[in-house]
Amino acid sequence: MTAIAPPTAAEVAERADAVRERVRAAGGDPAQVALVAVTKGFGPEVASVARAAGLVDLGENYAQELAAKAAVVDGVRWHAIGRLQRNKVRLVAPVVALWQSVDRLALGQQIARHAPGAAVLVQVDAWGEPQKGGCPAAEVPALVEAMAALGLDVRGLMAVAPAGPPAAAGPGFAAVAALADRLGLPVRSMGMSSDLEVAVAEGSTMVRVGGALFGVRPPRQG
Ligand SMILES: *Cc1c(COP(=O)(O)O)cnc(C)c1O
């Protein structure tokens, strides 16, 4: 594949405005719905462009990629949004601002060990798709309680909808929002480029957007 020139900061800022417009059109208040720009798969130059476009919250799926970008791009709140192996926690612990995909006790224990008091979200599997990660909804209250007992700052819940028609994700997002309400957790990280309207309509307070800001991701190496 030929290398595609990264978008300019002006282009990314324009696309971020378009995303905020989509949030508004879906009935959300863009000032209340945080935009996490997902830079996974792109090089550090794209993370720098995002930062120059005024985006401060950046999301990464892979620990090595996150660490490499955090070493060269300043002023970012890094969000760990992917399935995380326990042995990768230490590598990114100094730079992660929000651990979004905590779905099991062992992972929480490792985070509490390397980043005491860290802010976390519990990832919920609201669709019965365990391969995507996420804690089964029925087990979420106990996991949230266990995370708090470890001294972690549980801010909310996160969910990744299955591939397929965005509208089909609605009931799952609604269930996650209801669960967050019940547990008194303010943050619901739900919605990506293709399904953010559905997520916002169901009460998302944080969308994680890659493609709609940066274009098609290069294929993942290795
Ligand atoms: C890749 C990814 C995103 C962003 O997806 P887009 O379709 O590019 O917007 C959001 N959340 C998670 C967990 C992801 O892995």
Distance CA 134, CA 27 (A): 27
Q: Ligand 1 pocket, 210 CB below 6 A?
A: yes
* Residue to probe by mutation, ligand 1, list 125, 129, 192, 216, most atoms within 8 Å of CB: 192
| Mean pLDDT score, 168-196 | 98
Does position 3 have pLDDT exceeding 70, yes or no?
Answer: no
Q: What is the pLDDT of residues 76-99, one digit of tens each?
A: 999 999 999 999 999 999 999 999
Q: Ligand 1 pocket, 61 CB below 6 A?
A: yes
Does position 220 have pLDDT exceeding 90, yes or no?
Answer: no
Ligand 1 atom with least separation from CA of 212: 9
Does position 4 have pLDDT exceeding 80, yes or no?
Answer: no
Ligand 1 atom with least separation from CA of 193: 9
Question: How much is the pLDDT for 132?
Answer: 83
Q: pTM value?
A: 0.96
Does position 1 have pLDDT exceeding 60, yes or no?
Answer: no
Q: Ligand 1 pocket, 155 CB below 6 A?
A: no
Question: How much is the pLDDT for 2?
Answer: 57
Q: What is the pLDDT of residues 151-170, one digit of tens each?
A: 999 999 999 999 999 999 99
3-state secondary structure 41-93: CCCHHHHHHHHHCCCCEEEECCHHHHHHHHHHCCCCEEEECCCCCHHHHHHHC
Contact predicate 117/93, CB 8 Å: no
Question: How much is the pLDDT for 29?
Answer: 98
Question: How much is the pLDDT for 205?
Answer: 98
Does position 109 have pLDDT exceeding 80, yes or no?
Answer: yes
Q: What percent of the chain has pLDDT over 70?
A: 97
Residue whose CA lies nearest to ligand 1 atom number 7: 193
Q: Go through 124-158 and write b for each residue having 16 or more CB atoms within 10 A of its CB, e for each that does not.
A: bbbbeeeebbbbebebbeebbebbeebebebbbbb
Question: How much is the pLDDT for 217?
Answer: 87
- Mean model confidence pLDDT for the chain: 95
Q: What is the pLDDT of residues 56-73, one digit of tens each?
A: 999 999 999 999 999 999
Does position 131 have pLDDT exceeding 90, yes or no?
Answer: no
Q: Ligand 1 pocket, 193 CB below 6 A?
A: yes
- Give the residue carrying structure tokens 């995380």: 84
Question: How much is the pLDDT for 104?
Answer: 97
Q: What is the pLDDT of residues 35-54, one digit of tens each?
A: 999 999 999 999 999 999 99
Residue 149 pLDDT grade (very low, low, confident, very high; cuts 50, 70, 90): very high
Ligand 1 atom with least separation from CA of 61: 15
Residue 129 pLDDT grade (very low, low, confident, very high; cuts 50, 70, 90): confident
